[in-house]
Chains A and B, each alone.
Chain A
Amino acid sequence: MTGWRHFFAILPDCILVLLGGAVTTIEITLGGLLVALILGLVIALLRRSSFRAVTALAVAYVEVFRCVPVLTQLFVIYFGLGQIGLRLSPLPAAIIGFGLNGAAYLAEIYRSGIESVPRGQSEAGSSIGMTKHQTMVWIILPQAIRVSLPPIGNYGVGLLKDSSIAVAIAAPEITFDATNLINQTYLSTQIYLLMALLYIGMSLPLSHLVRRLERRSRRGVRA
């Protein structure tokens, strides 16, 4: 029990340190998600291009990034790029790595969202004189994104937890700080538990937010 007594004595310091890591975790998650949201949409749209080469490129992107473990991708971006002179700090490297990886997943989510919009919708767009581009922007995408919101939210919650992998490239997120703390205090059980609580504390509000988005976006979706 001495371990626990010691742990409670230094608990405030531990929390403070881990909270610092939590900020980085959130930065990686939100940054990566933002990159993935935008790039994923671009890839999903490129995939529908009428130019075969463009479509093939988009498909290749998705396949490559889905078939390589995200850890490997982080290594390539952090160490690999570093060797050819493009040295990134751990945080931007993690954001880019998770962003590029997530884009492949979100592109697929967007794609199924776009395909879920009935054909009659684009025909109605055509019939009021909209170009394909206008139909996509004003009619198809708003509906596709609503359908995609729940899986995107789930991806975000997953990313929050997976961002702990960034410890491998020394990004100063929670897992990194926890490891450091354990090295100093040897209180592995307690600190890992504390870390788990912090992850729960961050994930729960996020999944709650996702559920609310889901409910709101359901308005007017049928018909």
Chain B
Amino acid sequence: MAVTTSQGGKEDLSTGLPLVRMSGVCKDFGPLRVLDSINLDVARGEKISLIGPSGSGKTTLLRCINHLEQPTAGHVYVDGKLFGERQVDGRYLPLRDSEMARMRSTIGMVFQSFNLFPHLTVLQNIGLGPLKVLRQPRREVEAVSAELLAKVGLGDKRDAFPEQLSGGQRQRVAIARALAMQPRLMLFDEATSALDPELVGEVLNVMRQLALEGMTMIIVTHEMGFAEEISDRVVFMDKGAIVEIGDPKTLFHQPQNARTQSFLSAVLQKKPFQ
């Protein structure tokens, strides 16, 4: 697959304002608290990996950022602005649907199960957002979509339908679809978990390239090697809370917390009977 070199995008960690700020975010599903007062700042250009056992709340945290899940308590700020809510006389009110949509359009999301639109060709999948949401002219949309498709190494698949593609190809199309909206932040929700092992690499390559270009990325993943390689910081979660957060070297090799240690030793050790 084609992986071009970095476009020279520079990581911009200098501006004081975080691109994403989660402040006291809680999420309850009925009586179950799945996220417990999450505080997290993500700088512009930063790559953050969320790791932890399943059910630890990683995916819910990710989905709270773009308000696919409405936090039960706490707030999310993107670029310093309250996200997904508005504040009137000190009270927080839900946004109108159109306002919410406009905000979400600036955050790309890649799902574990791809969620490509099965009734549209690959090119139409990528172009739908720019065409209908950004209302860009069709000719321009097609050109940009084709460019993105080439970038993820699928230039020859523009007229294929999703069901004709392998899992890895589908996920690369899904990444291109998210990028077509020119997001300032990309959320990856276990982007490679549904893939056959031999297809994981092609998706990680595309993510790696994106990281090199300076995209701000928040990645929920089970690929520890990848997380260590590209992350600026790694977040270890357990039981809905952030247990430990640190640079990948420290977190993976000198974890401070006992729970982090036991999780990592379970995941990283190749046990003969598992």
Interface residues of A (CB under 8 A from B): 118, 120-121, 123-124, 126-134, 138-139, 142-143, 146, 219-223
Greatest chain B CB density within 10 A among A118, A133, A223 is at A223
Binds A, one of B39-47, B108-116, B235-243: B108-116
The answer, among B119, B133, B134, for a CB contact under 8 Å with A146, is B119
B221 interface hit (Cβ, 8 Å) = no
The answer, among A120, A130, A219, A221, for a CB contact under 8 Å with B133, is A130
Given contacts A127-B108, A127-B109, A127-B178, contact A134 B116 (CB under 8 A): no
Q: How far is the CB of B8 from chain A (nearest CB, A)?
A: 27
B177 interface hit (Cβ, 8 Å) = yes
B 110-164 contacts with A by CB, 8 A: 111, 113-121, 128-129, 132-134, 161-163
B49 interface hit (Cβ, 8 Å) = no
B193 interface hit (Cβ, 8 Å) = no
Greatest chain B CB density within 10 A among A118, A132, A139 is at A139
Are A221 and B97 neighbours in the complex by a CB distance under 8 Å?
Answer: no
Given contacts A220-B161, A220-B163, A223-B170, contact A143 B181 (CB under 8 A): no
Are A120 and B119 neighbours in the complex by a CB distance under 8 Å?
Answer: no
Are A220 and B118 neighbours in the complex by a CB distance under 8 Å?
Answer: yes
Given contacts A134-B101, A138-B128, A223-B170, contact A128 B133 (CB under 8 A): yes
Residue-wise, chain B 34-63 has the 8 Å CB interface mask toward A (1 for contact) of 000000000000000000000000000000
The CA-CA distance from A49 to B68 in the complex, in Å, is 20
The answer, among B113, B120, B128, for a CB contact under 8 Å with A128, is B128
B68 neighbours in A (Cβ, 8 Å)? 123, 126-127
Q: How far is the CB of B204 from chain A (nearest CB, A)?
A: 21
Greatest chain A CB density within 10 A among B107, B132, B165, B181 is at B132
The CA-CA distance from A222 to B177 in the complex, in Å, is 19
Residue-wise, chain B 82-117 has the 8 Å CB interface mask toward A (1 for contact) of 000000000000000110011011111101011111
A127 neighbours in B (Cβ, 8 Å)? 66, 68, 104, 107-109, 111, 178
What bracket does the count of chain B residues touching chain A fall in?
A: 35 or more
Are A129 and B119 neighbours in the complex by a CB distance under 8 Å?
Answer: no
The CA-CA distance from A223 to B165 in the complex, in Å, is 9
A129 neighbours in B (Cβ, 8 Å)? 101-102, 104-106, 129, 133-134, 181
Are A130 and B132 neighbours in the complex by a CB distance under 8 Å?
Answer: yes
Q: Write the chain A residue with the least CB distance to B126.
A: A128
Additional 11 contacts, C-beta under 8 A, given A220-B121, A220-B161? A126-B68, A127-B107, A127-B178, A128-B129, A128-B178, A128-B180, A129-B101, A143-B117, A222-B118, A223-B118, A223-B162
B106 neighbours in A (Cβ, 8 Å)? 129
B 150-200 contacts with A by CB, 8 A: 161-163, 165, 170, 177-178, 180-181
Are B113 and A120 neighbours in the complex by a CB distance under 8 Å?
Answer: yes
Are B162 and A130 neighbours in the complex by a CB distance under 8 Å?
Answer: no
Q: Write the chain B residue with the least CB distance to A146.
A: B119
The CA-CA distance from A120 to B128 in the complex, in Å, is 16
The CA-CA distance from A89 to B88 in the complex, in Å, is 58
A134 neighbours in B (Cβ, 8 Å)? 101, 132-133
Are B128 and A221 neighbours in the complex by a CB distance under 8 Å?
Answer: no
Greatest chain B CB density within 10 A among A143, A220, A222 is at A220
Are A123 and B102 neighbours in the complex by a CB distance under 8 Å?
Answer: no
A121 neighbours in B (Cβ, 8 Å)? 115, 117
B108 neighbours in A (Cβ, 8 Å)? 127
Closest 6 pairs between A and B when the two form their complex, measured CB to CB: A129-B105, A128-B129, A220-B161, A124-B115, A127-B109, A223-B163
B114 neighbours in A (Cβ, 8 Å)? 223
Q: How far is the CB of B209 from chain A (nearest CB, A)?
A: 21
Are B132 and A120 neighbours in the complex by a CB distance under 8 Å?
Answer: no
Are B117 and A124 neighbours in the complex by a CB distance under 8 Å?
Answer: yes
B129 neighbours in A (Cβ, 8 Å)? 128-130
The CA-CA distance from A126 to B102 in the complex, in Å, is 10
Q: Write the chain A residue with the least CB distance to B99.
A: A131
Are B115 and A219 neighbours in the complex by a CB distance under 8 Å?
Answer: no
The answer, among A123, A133, A221, for a CB contact under 8 Å with B118, is A221
B102 neighbours in A (Cβ, 8 Å)? 129
Given contacts A132-B97, A138-B132, A223-B170, contact A126 B104 (CB under 8 A): yes
The CA-CA distance from A221 to B114 in the complex, in Å, is 15
Task: Give 16 CB contacts A-B under 8 Å.
Answer: A120-B115, A121-B117, A123-B68, A123-B111, A126-B104, A127-B109, A128-B104, A129-B104, A129-B105, A129-B106, A130-B101, A131-B97, A142-B119, A143-B119, A146-B119, A220-B118
